[in-house]
Amino acid sequence: MPGSITFALPSLWSFLAVLSRVAATFSFIPLPGFKNQADMAKIVLSLTTTVALYPLWPAVPVPDPSMGMMLVWLAADAALGVAVGLVVALLVEGFVLAAQFLGLQAGYSYASTIDPNSQSDSGVLQIAVQMAASLLFFSLGFHRQVLGVIALSLGLFPPGSFVLTMSGAQAVIHLGSGMFLLAARLALPVVAMLILVDLTLALLGKLNAQLQLLMLSFPVKMLLGLMLLSSVLVLGPVLFEQEARRSMAVIGQILGRP
């Protein structure tokens, strides 16, 4: 009996290492409403994914590690999962940031709803774009690529061996700055047109003080904002796919496979 328990311990250490990597990745993946689901559902998802990766579980470097060494291994594997999940989260946040820019200028910031991820009041347009970006992430199949990255990392990095290199960290930082560029590409055309509408209404009010255009500015800007946004979002899937491929390339740099 003691021999059988000793034999099973390396598999247990491998299971814990893979579980920490998977759970850390899932904590950032844009699953709508995932953060507010029951804890049991999150645990079951992480456990089932870890068990599904059983043929790829890496062998532990030390068969009988100490508690301190095991904590170091778990922290390193969790860091890898956080890095992969953060790259995916930045991809979706670029579209959410564009909606926030647009909603503030178009007047949608006055209408709020409950964010299913944080349970806080957020703009209606912001929540709609966040849901659409999350659906694009799954409909374009990038969730399968993320699972493939996790499976690939099991062969590249045994438990406790992952270290974020300087090039990988710089790639993540550049991706974060690219999030603002993506938001500008989506929002600036519509925001520029709405600014022209504000200037036009201001000039008309200046020419004729009897015209009460303030009451018309909000519905005009909201309707015009929706019309322009619908034309801009036609390119949304194309931009999302381009940025998603760029994010996958950044994940490749993190794994040391440019």
Structure confidence by residue, pLDDT tens digits, 152-193: 888 888 887 887 778 878 888 888 888 888 888 777 777 777
Instruction: Confirm if 146 and 84 have CB atoms less than 8 A apart.
Output: yes
CA-CA distances (angstroms) from residue 209 to 47, 140, 198? Answer: 68, 53, 16
| pLDDT attached to residue 121 | 52
The structural domain count of the chain equals 1
Any idea which residue has 């990745």 for tokens? Answer: 25
Residue 126 exposure: Cα atoms within 13 Å on the Cβ side: 25
Note if the pTM is more than 0.75: no
- Roughly what angle, to the nearest 10 degrees, separates helices 67-106 and 236-254? 160
Residue 232 exposure: Cα atoms within 13 Å on the Cβ side: 23
- Indicate the average pLDDT of the chain: 76
Encoded amino acid at 13, one letter: W
Encoded amino acid at 123, one letter: G
The CA distance from 237 to 192, in Å, is: 22
Rounded to an integer, the average pLDDT of 78-104 is 82
Structure confidence by residue, pLDDT tens digits, 123-140: 677 777 788 888 888 888
Structure confidence by residue, pLDDT tens digits, 105-114: 666 665 555 5
Rounded to an integer, the average pLDDT of 241-256 is 84
**Is the pLDDT at 1 greater than 50, yes or no?**
no
Confidence of residue 5 (pLDDT cuts 50, 70, 90): very low
Which residue range is the domain that position 102 belongs to? 2-254
Structure confidence by residue, pLDDT tens digits, 138-150: 888 888 888 888 8
| pLDDT attached to residue 126 | 76
| pLDDT attached to residue 68 | 79
Rg (CA), the chain: 24
Q: b/e string for 20-51 if b means 16 or more Cβ within 10 A?
A: bbbbbbbbbbbbeebeeeeeeebeebbeebbe
**Quick one: CA dihedral 142, 144, 149, 150, positive or negative?**
positive
The CA distance from 139 to 148, in Å, is: 16
**Is the pLDDT at 214 greater than 60, yes or no?**
yes
Structure confidence by residue, pLDDT tens digits, 22-74: 888 887 776 665 555 556 777 788 888 888 888 888 877 777 777 878 888 88
State what percent of residues in the chain have pLDDT above 90: 0
Strand partners, 114: 121
